[in-house]
Structure 1
């Protein structure tokens, strides 16, 4: 968009973050109804900030708005997971190559790995993992490319939340993250990009095999 979005009011932001946290930690399940009056009572606000928060979350792909059903947490199935991860497969390795070509600092990625290893719960670990990936693509030098990847971050996190609930696999993924960073720090752009591609592809295929419509 050509213009800067208006700041989100504090109450709306509060509700937005609380609902997002519930979705990304599994406290709010895929397909669960998000009733404005119930949420307003729960958070001690009027329905207006709740409605605005849900609209924003619908824009990020975490919530589905229906004229008949109202708002619900987005359901994750194989088709949705592969759609989101296909975007990541196309864009993230290319962004990482650009980051390495610019010799941008990878210290934020290293710090995110440390936070992930020290995480005490799934929500904290998920956030650190997202920060790791973002630290690889954000310094790519193309703000539009970075924003496109930012746009699918929440949906990718929702996919991970559902997958981890079925089969916790973060130790394997942590090892893959370390290998990606090791190659990146060694200035092995091809190796790092390939490792990142394989990491993204193997996760979605393992968690949501093609043809699976769970």
Structure 2
């Protein structure tokens, strides 16, 4: 008999969400040390919920745990960004194709667009953008495919945070989201899939352009 995982205690969840918010708003920079005692004092908790929160964030790829350096915010470089977005390019367009073919409801994607437009800060916008993409792939009919994409969601959001700090291009991405949804709701499967692929590929290329050596390879 399979058992469901235990829910995260409320204090740990509170600390986890607060740290994630700081990472996704740039309040905690890539490479910055996450000292348990400092975080525990800041949030008014013991070190245990902080430690558990950091372990969870390490599992999602936002934090790196090292025996010698402790916990740090994950660094974002071109290789990391391209690895994450390569996975998305391989899986996400196919998941959208299946969602459209199944005639799945995309109301959650439309709601996410509204939330992104009304976002009060970068973290809220990032979370809404992730919910938009998730609403496209979750109804694909293959739970394993959806879980695989879920596993890179936080890492993709971290890439976006770093990229937006250099080039606040979320208005462009929002327009692309609206066009993807329009095509998907119209049942134009091939065009919607192509638009999603171009959206993902163009973002990482704008944020981390290939250098001359890579272009010649």
TM range (shorter): over 0.9
In 2, Cα distance between equivalents of 1:168 and 1:3: 44
Deviates more, 1:108-117 or 1:19-28: 108-117
After superposing on structure 2, the runs of 4+ consecutive aligned residues of structure 1 that deviate more than 6 Å are: none
Question: Is 1:88 aligned to residue 83 of structure 2?
Answer: no
Partner of 2:215: none
Partner of 1:100: 100
Deviates more, 1:113-122 or 1:197-206: 113-122
Give secondary structure in 2 for the equivalent of 1:193.
Answer: helix
Give secondary structure in 1 for the equivalent of 2:28.
Answer: coil
> Is the CA contact 1:78–1:211 (under 8 Å) kept in the aligned structure 2?
no
* Backbone CA RMSD of aligned residues: 1.2
1:155-194 map, 5 Å: 155-194=155-194
> Is the CA contact 1:115–1:125 (under 8 Å) kept in the aligned structure 2?
yes
Question: Is 1:30 aligned to residue 27 of structure 2?
Answer: no
Alignment coverage as a number of residue pairs? 211
Question: Is 1:9 aligned to residue 9 of structure 2?
Answer: yes
Partner of 1:122: 122
> Is the CA contact 2:25–2:161 (under 8 Å) kept in the aligned structure 1?
yes
Tell me the CA shift for residue 211 of structure 1.
4.3
Does the C-alpha gap of structure 1 residues 211 and 47 become closer, same or farther in structure 2, counting only changes over 3 Å?
Answer: farther
In 1, Cα distance between equivalents of 2:22 and 2:137: 26
Partner of 1:62: 62
> Is the CA contact 2:180–2:196 (under 8 Å) kept in the aligned structure 1?
yes
Give secondary structure in 1 for the equivalent of 2:76.
Answer: coil
TM-score (norm 2): 0.94
Partner of 2:71: 71
Tell me the CA shift for residue 210 of structure 1.
2.6
1:114-173 superposed Cα distances (whole Å, 9 cap, x missing partner): 221222321221111111101100111111111111110000000000000011001111
Tell me the CA shift for residue 81 of structure 1.
0.2
> Is the CA contact 1:64–1:74 (under 8 Å) kept in the aligned structure 2?
yes
In 1, Cα distance between equivalents of 2:130 and 2:49: 27
Does the C-alpha gap of structure 1 residues 3 and 198 become closer, same or farther in structure 2, counting only changes over 3 Å?
Answer: farther
Gaps of at least 5 residues in structure 2 are 213-217
In 2, Cα distance between equivalents of 1:120 and 1:63: 25
In 2, Cα distance between equivalents of 1:60 and 1:98: 25
Tell me the CA shift for residue 3 of structure 1.
5.1
Give secondary structure in 1 for the equivalent of 2:72.
Answer: strand
